[in-house]
């Protein structure tokens, strides 16, 4: 017998990385919110690698933080090692990556949800979801408890109709031995939501006490650690070392001899796997000429001996895993604690979503995270934040928020999903952003804190601190354009040492800093008027000056995109009535329903000529 257990404005299904940010955002914006999870002890579980950030993903985490999200703070609080990736390249591709204590991270996020005012946390499986006669949502749990909500956010991760594969063994299940959400998938099909089948995988976990570290190459963390959160002021410390090793010819031989036992190659797995994170057997087959593949050994936490073998994702049988792992240098006597596995799961076709992450055919129903066809904790958290913001604002009768790809990696991620779709699990990369020189991780707060404040997720105190930082950057930029360094023997000798030409007349600091050989630190001994600012102020000004020409060109491109994105397209437009648009373009535009001309221009199959015709049509019918 069912009973009414609660009535809410927002209900979130799933408390992984997407569900956490969605529920926190909705509750913090003043909505009475409930979040459901299959198991309270696995909230925010990092089921795959025990890290946050990475190439382009570090950008997402800092943007989430700049908007008022929680992931960056949680990562800083549970950090055990930090490294800046691509530090030898330009600032556009610098990406922060941190090893975290996976259990402490989960505990942090569980406590954050428990403490959040206006948010209820429930351990329950949602098995049915239906629209009520008055247009609201009715959610039913496996115990027949009923909850009502104005809006629902689905963030089921890989649990939706999940199926585990290890060799020829397969069974229904979620990650890390959890049970799957099967009946919810059936409910979504009854709503005619277009679902598809994707697949991902994870490597073996091994016991650190069985590793011969003398044969491995140590990979220490950075001496100076940059936090993910702009609010983290305490000094962070590395607590562990990571290590690297390589596969061998014997590894390759064992895998190829047993490739027929992999469900990926036997045809058992139907789901499409991630293109940019292939299994070790896939790498061996696809890159047959490659002599060896790198393996990263990453500790799972401070109070466990469990170590993650990054780069060794597999779905081969357990006996084969045991053999090939032992062929890797340093792992001859290794003991596997958890075998690798592949997992298939259902997710929505993201082309069925609006840029707000609301489903086109089901008002007040939103998707976030791997349910939307993406992969990765950071991509999930970013979508959860956006879904939570928009669900709350729509419930409250406010205008929804669309993040542009010109202002954030979050905007790029969502625009790619809802405009271009994905044929395999979508992964964020710096190359996906055409504006990456402007959208750097170091300036995420300058780009998005204002927006976070307007939305209501940034406190007054933090906003004032942001304005102070912004003013300091502007003042320092102006000062650099005014202060002149006169020629001197000492200064010219230093310039020669640094490999750049001496000066004969006074030169502005801004011009000197544009030289690739010079940095703020090099000029500081000769800059008698330098203010006492934090390093982050000088870093911003240095990047602004060194890349000034490139940034101006990119900003000009952004202005053109803004012009197109300002031209909104009516929801009820009938594209087949727009004379001059090609049939293919009509089909694509009708399916995706772009909200503005900028989005329409990025749809595959819509040509510049189609856009010109559309602009003329909109101008004629602008009233």
Q: What is the pLDDT of residues 486-506, one digit of tens each?
A: 999 999 999 999 999 999 999
297 is a domain residue: yes
30 is a domain residue: no
What percent of the chain lies above the pLDDT cut of 70? 99
Contact present, 226 and 96 (Cβ < 8 Å) = yes
Give the mean model confidence (pLDDT) for residues 595-608: 93
Residue the block writes with tokens 């049509």: 617
527 is a domain residue: yes
Banded pLDDT at 2 (limits 50, 70, 90): confident
Whether residue 252 is found in the same domain as residue 325:
yes
191 is a domain residue: no
Radius of gyration of the chain (CA): 26
Handedness of CA 277, 279, 280, 281 (dihedral sign): negative
> What pLDDT, on a 0 to 100 scale, did the predictor assign at position 623?
60
User: Cα angle vertex 539, ends 536, 545, to 5°?
Assistant: 145
CATH number of the domain residue 306 falls in: 2.40.30.260
Q: 57-66 and 377-395 are packed helices; what angle lies between their axes, rounded to 10 degrees?
A: 30
Residue 79: strand pairing partners: 100
Which helix (H) or strand (E) is 256 found in, with range?
helix 249-257
Locate 308 and state its tokens. 């993650």
288 is a domain residue: yes
> What pLDDT, on a 0 to 100 scale, did the predictor assign at position 272?
75
> What pLDDT, on a 0 to 100 scale, did the predictor assign at position 269?
76
CATH number of the domain residue 590 falls in: 1.10.150.570
Which of these ranges, 9-18, 263-272, 542-551, has the smallest mean pLDDT? 263-272
CA dihedral of 272, 276, 281, 282, whole degrees rounded to 10: 60
- Whether 263 shows a pLDDT value over 80: the answer reads yes
- Whether 273 shows a pLDDT value over 90: the answer reads no
Whether residue 534 is found in the same domain as residue 575:
no
Contact present, 200 and 425 (Cβ < 8 Å) = yes
Contact present, 125 and 40 (Cβ < 8 Å) = no
Whether residue 465 is found in the same domain as residue 593:
no
Whether residue 495 is found in the same domain as residue 608:
no
Whether residue 504 is found in the same domain as residue 606:
no
Which helix (H) or strand (E) is 34 found in, with range?
strand 33-37
Contact present, 220 and 192 (Cβ < 8 Å) = no
User: Which of 518, 552, 586 lies at the terminal end of a domain, its last residue?
Assistant: 552
Q: What is the 3-state secondary structure (H, E, C) of 461-518?
A: HHHHHHHHHHHHHHHHHHHHHHCEECCCHHHHHHHHHCCCCCCCCCEEHHHHHCCCCC
- Whether 278 shows a pLDDT value over 80: the answer reads yes
* pLDDT tens, residue by residue, 25-82: 999 999 999 999 999 999 999 999 999 999 999 999 999 999 999 999 999 999 999 9
Whether residue 264 is found in the same domain as residue 321:
yes
> What pLDDT, on a 0 to 100 scale, did the predictor assign at position 267?
75
> What pLDDT, on a 0 to 100 scale, did the predictor assign at position 622?
74
User: Cα angle vertex 361, ends 360, 367, to 5°?
Assistant: 60
Phi, psi of 218 (to 5 degrees): -70, 145
Whether residue 548 is found in the same domain as residue 598:
no
Please give the tally of structural domains in the chain: 3
User: Which of 309, 343, 377 lies at the terminal end of a domain, its last residue?
Assistant: 343
Tell me the Ramachandran region of residue 515: left when phi exceeds 0, alpha when psi lies from -120 to 50, beta otherwise. beta
Whether residue 541 is found in the same domain as residue 599:
no
User: Which of 317, 343, 369 lies at the terminal end of a domain, its last residue?
Assistant: 343
CA dihedral of 510, 512, 515, 518, whole degrees rounded to 10: -110
- Whether 595 shows a pLDDT value over 70: the answer reads yes
Whether residue 213 is found in the same domain as residue 299:
yes
> What pLDDT, on a 0 to 100 scale, did the predictor assign at position 268?
80
CATH number of the domain residue 494 falls in: 1.10.10.1800
466 is a domain residue: yes
Whether residue 523 is found in the same domain as residue 590:
no
In which domain, by residue range, is 586 found?
A: 567-620
User: pTM above 0.75?
Assistant: yes
- Whether 459 shows a pLDDT value over 90: the answer reads yes
275 is a domain residue: yes
Tell me the Ramachandran region of residue 177: left when phi exceeds 0, alpha when psi lies from -120 to 50, beta otherwise. left
> What pLDDT, on a 0 to 100 scale, did the predictor assign at position 276?
65
Which of these ranges, 111-120, 266-275, 299-308, 573-582, has the smallest mean pLDDT? 266-275
Burial class (CB in 10 A: 0-12, 13-18, 19+), 377: buried
Residue 336: how many CB atoms within 10 A of its CB? 18
Give the mean model confidence (pLDDT) for residues 261-270: 80
- Whether 274 shows a pLDDT value over 80: the answer reads no
* pLDDT tens, residue by residue, 197-243: 999 999 999 999 999 999 999 999 999 999 999 999 999 999 999 99
134 is a domain residue: no
Give the mean model confidence (pLDDT) for residues 404-426: 95
Whether residue 607 is found in the same domain as residue 520:
no
Whether residue 530 is found in the same domain as residue 590:
no
Banded pLDDT at 310 (limits 50, 70, 90): very high
User: For residues 330 and 210, what is the distance between their CA atoms, to the nearest angstrom?
Assistant: 9
């Amino acid at each position: 017998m069912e009973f009414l257990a609660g009535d809410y404005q927002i209900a979130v299904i799933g408390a992984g990385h997407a569900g956490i940010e969605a529920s926190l955002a909705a509750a913090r914006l003043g909505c009475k919110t409930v979040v459901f999870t299959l198991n309270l002890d696995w909230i925010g579980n990092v089921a795959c690698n025990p890290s946050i950030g990475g190439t382009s993903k570090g950008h997402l985490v800092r943007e989430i933080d700049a908007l008022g999200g929680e992931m960056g703070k949680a990562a800083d609080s549970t950090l055990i090692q930090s490294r800046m990736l691509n530090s030898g390249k330009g600032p556009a591709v610098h990406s922060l990556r941190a090893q975290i204590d996976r259990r402490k991270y989960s505990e942090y996020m569980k406590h954050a949800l428990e403490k959040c005012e206006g948010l209820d946390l429930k351990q329950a499986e949602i098995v049915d979801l239906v629209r009520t006669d008055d247009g609201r949502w009715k959610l039913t749990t496996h115990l027949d408890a009923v909850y009502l909500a104005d809006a629902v956010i689905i963030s089921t991760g890989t649990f939706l109709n999940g199926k585990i594969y290890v060799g020829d063994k397969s069974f229904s299940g979620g990650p890390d031995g959890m049970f799957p959400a099967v009946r919810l998938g059936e409910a979504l099909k009854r709503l005619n939501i277009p679902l598809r089948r994707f697949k991902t995988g994870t490597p073996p976990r091994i016991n650190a006490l069985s590793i011969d570290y003398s044969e491995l190459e140590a990979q220490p963390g950075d001496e100076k650690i940059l936090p993910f959160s702009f609010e983290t002021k305490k000094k962070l410390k590395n607590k562990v070392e990571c290590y690297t090793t390589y596969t061998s010819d014997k590894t390759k031989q064992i895998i190829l001899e047993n490739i027929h036992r992999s469900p990926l190659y036997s045809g058992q797995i139907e789901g499409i796997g991630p293109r940019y994170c292939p299994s070790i057997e896939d790498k061996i087959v696809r890159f047959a000429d490659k002599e060896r593949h790198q393996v990263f050994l990453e500790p799972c936490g401070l109070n466990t001996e469990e170590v993650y073998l990054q780069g060794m994702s597999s779905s081969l049988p357990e006996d084969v895993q045991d053999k090939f792992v032992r062929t890797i240098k340093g792992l001859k006597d290794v003991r596997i604690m958890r075998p690798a596995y592949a997992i298939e799961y259902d997710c929505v076709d993201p082309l069925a979503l609006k840029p707000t992450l609301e489903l086109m055919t089901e008002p007040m129903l939103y998707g976030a995270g791997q349910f939307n066809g993406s992969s990765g904790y950071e991509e999930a958290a970013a979508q959860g934040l956006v879904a939570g913001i928009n669900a709350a604002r729509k419930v409250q009768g406010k205008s929804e928020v669309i993040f542009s790809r010109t202002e954030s990696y979050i905007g790029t991620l969502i625009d790619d999903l809802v405009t271009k779709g994905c044929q395999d699990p979508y992964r964020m990369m710096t190359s996906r952003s055409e504006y990456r020189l402007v959208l750097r991780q170091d300036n995420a707060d300058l780009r998005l804190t204002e927006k976070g404040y307007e939305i209501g997720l940034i406190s007054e105190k933090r906003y004032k601190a942001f304005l102070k930082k912004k003013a300091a950057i502007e003042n320092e930029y102006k000062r650099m354009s005014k202060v002149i360094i006169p020629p001197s023997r000492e200064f010219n000798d230093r310039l020669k040492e640094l490999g750049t030409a001496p000066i004969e007349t006074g030169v502005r600091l801004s011009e000197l800093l544009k030289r690739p050989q010079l940095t703020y630190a090099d000029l500081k001994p000769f800059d008698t008027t330098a203010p006492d600012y934090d390093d982050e102020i000088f870093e911003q000004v240095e990047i602004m000056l060194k890349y000034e020409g490139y940034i101006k060109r990119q900003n000009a491109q952004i202005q053109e995109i803004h012009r197109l994105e300002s031209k909104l397209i009516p929801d009820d437009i009938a594209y087949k009535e727009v004379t001059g648009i090609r049939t293919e373009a009509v089909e694509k535009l009708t399916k995706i329903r772009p909200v503005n001309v900028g989005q329409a221009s990025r749809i595959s199959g819509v040509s510049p000529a189609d856009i010109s015709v559309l602009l003329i049509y909109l101008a004629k019918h602008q009233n």
